[in-house]
Amino acid sequence: MTEPLFILAIVIVTALAFDFTNGFHDTANAMATSIATGAIKPKAAVALSAVLNLVGAFLSIEVALTVSNKVVAIQGANGAPIPELMGTPILTIVFAGLVGGILWNLATWLLGLPSSSSHALFGGLIGAAIASLGFSGVKWDGVVSSIVIPAVAAPIVAALVAAIGTRVIFALVSKVPEERRDSSFRWGQIGSASLVSLAHGTNDAQKTMGVITLALIAYGSWTDLDAIPFWVKAACALAIAGGTYIGGWRVIRTLGKGLVEISSPQGMAAETASAAAILSSSHLGLALSTTHVATGSILGTGLGRKGAVVRWAVAGRMVIAWLITLPAAALVGALCWELSHVISGSAGVGVVFAILVVAAGAMFRHSRKTAITADNVNHEWKGGLAPADEPTARQTVNA
């Protein structure tokens, strides 16, 4: 096996590993509120979300083309790949960026913080590209238009839509008894959550497709800049679906129980707003953070319901994580590229891959000290990630 082929293989494996972490990190975006209100059982929720993510991954490639063409500058003025960047240089950049994204995903999952998997990936790629090629190695216009602007606008728009939707819903059902109201909205909540899962597949699975396609272009085995190989679509769809089925219970708990005390009408409003924003961005090729959208929507339901409890301290920690995601992942991506470059070639890539495996294993073992599972994800929020001994009253009724 030649050195470029070895590195390509490592890149593909690492990309699919990132896709898997994306799946379990972002399950909460679709299903946290439905699980929190008892509309659907936790294990059934992640299974449903996994299937719909799988289907959604085949519905669009616009976001994938954004990732493969609008972040790292591998094309010249004529649109053709730059020959001296093909092969090992770009493959190493992609690999280092993926490692940065994975480590940030795992770290925030460990803390139960719903940070953006998308921004972790882009941050890693940007950091590795700057370390390797300088600031000219990044397509800053594409980063600003397709990543930064949506990152700022999407959660604000989602929060406003969800707040208005929540206020309208409660105005319409103000005279309906709470128990009957919640029961009626549960089916709508499951339907809207399913739409978010489908939308997540059309947006987030595409990002890994774009990364693998970028690696294939660099290796020289793919030349069509306007298409994605079918086997890449299938592999990424299966990876994100598998990660979703595992269930990122730590993040699900934070979004479902830690941010807002949520009811079924609020959950339906949040999920409907999220689905609309994500599907629109996928159609436009915007690499949106589904985490930002889902969090903004949930927060919006708290603002839209009179007397709702919003835990602003938790929201503040989330915003801090959002702000540092890009630079933190960029730093890790740059360091990984430097280490790969110092050791040189496949040996350097192998060392960084080994570090990734060891670090991932250490974080997983640490997570077992305060394990969050389908059995305790809905237990009462006591000010921290660790669950109380008993579930909330709503969960007891609907179990």
Q: What is the dihedral of CA 180, 183, 187, 193, to 10 degrees?
A: 120
- The pTM of the full predicted model, rounded to 2 decimals, is 0.83
By the 8 A CB rule, do 337 and 132 touch? yes
- What's the structural domain count of the chain? 1
Distance, in Å, from the CA atom of 299 to the CA atom of 294, rounded to the nearest integer, reads 9
Q: What is the pLDDT of residue 348?
A: 86
Domain that holds residue 88: 3-398
Could you tell me the sign of the dihedral formed by the alpha carbons of 94, 95, 101, 102, in that order? positive
Q: What is the pLDDT of residues 246-291, one digit of tens each?
A: 878 898 888 888 888 888 888 888 888 888 888 787 777 666 778 8
| CA nearest neighbour of 219 among 390, 126, 73, 85 | 85
Distance, in Å, from the CA atom of 235 to the CA atom of 6, rounded to the nearest integer, reads 19
DSSP output for 327-343: HHHHHHHHHHHHHHHHH
> What is the radius of gyration, based on Cα positions, of the chain?
21
By the 8 A CB rule, do 28 and 113 touch? no
Could you tell me the sign of the dihedral formed by the alpha carbons of 296, 301, 306, 308, in that order? negative
pLDDT, one tens digit for every residue, the chain (399 residues):
688 888 899 999 999 999 999 888 888 888 888 898 888 899 999 999 999 999 988 887 777 776 666 677 655 555 555 555 555 677 888 899 999 999 998 999 998 888 888 888 889 989 988 988 888 888 888 788 877 888 888 888 889 988 998 998 888 887 888 777 777 788 888 888 898 888 888 878 888 888 898 888 888 888 887 788 999 999 999 999 999 998 788 988 888 888 888 888 888 888 888 888 887 877 776 667 788 888 889 899 888 888 777 888 888 888 888 889 989 999 999 999 998 888 876 888 899 999 999 999 999 999 988 889 888 888 888 766 766 555 444 443 333
> Which amino acid, one-letter code, is at 34?
S
By the 8 A CB rule, do 300 and 159 touch? yes
By the 8 A CB rule, do 280 and 142 touch? no
- Name the burial class of residue 175, with classes exposed (0-12), middle (13-18) and buried (19+) by CB atoms within 10 angstroms of its CB: exposed
> Which amino acid, one-letter code, is at 46?
V
- Name the burial class of residue 338, with classes exposed (0-12), middle (13-18) and buried (19+) by CB atoms within 10 angstroms of its CB: middle
By the 8 A CB rule, do 131 and 337 touch? yes
43: its two tokens: 């294990």
DSSP output for 217-240: HHHTS---TT---HHHHHHHHHHH
Q: Count CB neighbours of 324 within 10 A.
A: 15
- Name the burial class of residue 47, with classes exposed (0-12), middle (13-18) and buried (19+) by CB atoms within 10 angstroms of its CB: middle
